[in-house]
Amino acid sequence: MSDPTSTTRREFVKAAGTAAIGGSLFPAGAFAQPRARRRYAIVGTGDRGSGMWGRDLMRRYPDLLEFVGLCDLNPKRALVARDFIGATSCPTFTSFDAMIDKTKPELLMVTTVDGFHHEYIIKGLDRGIDVMTEKPLTTDETKCQAILDAEKRNNRKIRKERDLPRRQLPQLLAPVRLPVLLRHDEGHASNGSLRGL
């Protein structure tokens, strides 16, 4: 009597050959679940917003990000930024609240004038959005404390970026909670950075 759980050499070769042929017909990951792109919005479409945090990310990581909103007080600048970025179907807004309400982003990049960073950071955190901002985080201690309070109140973290190394961007953009990075210390305070936070 033969053991029903044993495999003959012929059965093994047949199964292995079928697997090898199947593997050659379909690329790796063909049956894997597609990875959802993060819904990404930018407030402030000046040089950094449209360049480093817009066009560069669109070109390098189209599989990680879906541009869902661009907001700027100047509607023409927002339209020019949209074309420059290459996000031609992305809506533009002059109202931050309207953009957030209509597009429901998961990740917000704040690239406005430095003195207004705190307003958009806090609004984003209060709406449950992961927030990144360019340097400086903000311009004075009162605004910084308001940001810290919003983080605590919403159990959210923000990320302040300063010329982030390109190899770290995919991890940053992946749909996970962002770590906090509030300290910027190069031995001196520059461009309004708050030292010692």
Determine the pLDDT at residue 190.
Answer: 37
- Whether 162 is covered by a domain: the verdict is yes
CA 87 centroid distance within chain: 15
Distance CA 155, CA 159 (A): 14
- Whether 114 is covered by a domain: the verdict is yes
The count of domains in the chain is 1
- Whether 8 is covered by a domain: the verdict is no
End-to-end CA distance of the chain: 76
Kindly write down the DSSP assignment for every residue of the chain, as one continuous string.
---TT---HHHHHHHHHHHHHHHHHS-TTTTSPPPPPEEEEEE--SHHHHIIIIIHHHHH-TTTEEEEEEE-SSHHHHHHHHHHHT-TT--EES-HHHHHHHH--SEEEE-S-GGGHHHHHHHHHHTT-EEEEESPS-SSHHHHHHHHHHHHHHT--EEEESS--GGGHHHHHSSSPPPPB----SSS--TT--TT-
Q: Are 185 and 77 in contact (CB under 8 A)?
A: no
Work out the average pLDDT over 150-175.
68
Distance CA 51, CA 55 (A): 5
pLDDT reading at 78 higher than 90: yes
Work out the average pLDDT over 97-109.
95
- Whether 11 is covered by a domain: the verdict is no
Q: How confident is the model at residue 169 (pLDDT cuts 50, 70, 90)?
A: low
- Whether 31 is covered by a domain: the verdict is no
- Whether 59 is covered by a domain: the verdict is yes
57: domain CATH number is: 3.40.50.720
Determine the pLDDT at residue 187.
Answer: 41
> Which residue carries 């030292």 as its tokens?
195
Closest CA to 173 of 66, 47, 28: 66
- Whether 67 is covered by a domain: the verdict is yes
Which domain, by its residues, includes 99?
Answer: 38-173
Q: How confident is the model at residue 134 (pLDDT cuts 50, 70, 90)?
A: confident
Determine the pLDDT at residue 12.
Answer: 61
Q: Are 159 and 178 in contact (CB under 8 A)?
A: yes
Determine the pLDDT at residue 191.
Answer: 38
Q: How confident is the model at residue 17 (pLDDT cuts 50, 70, 90)?
A: very low
- Whether 50 is covered by a domain: the verdict is yes
Which range of 22-31, 39-48, 92-101, 125-134 scores highest in mean pLDDT? It is 92-101
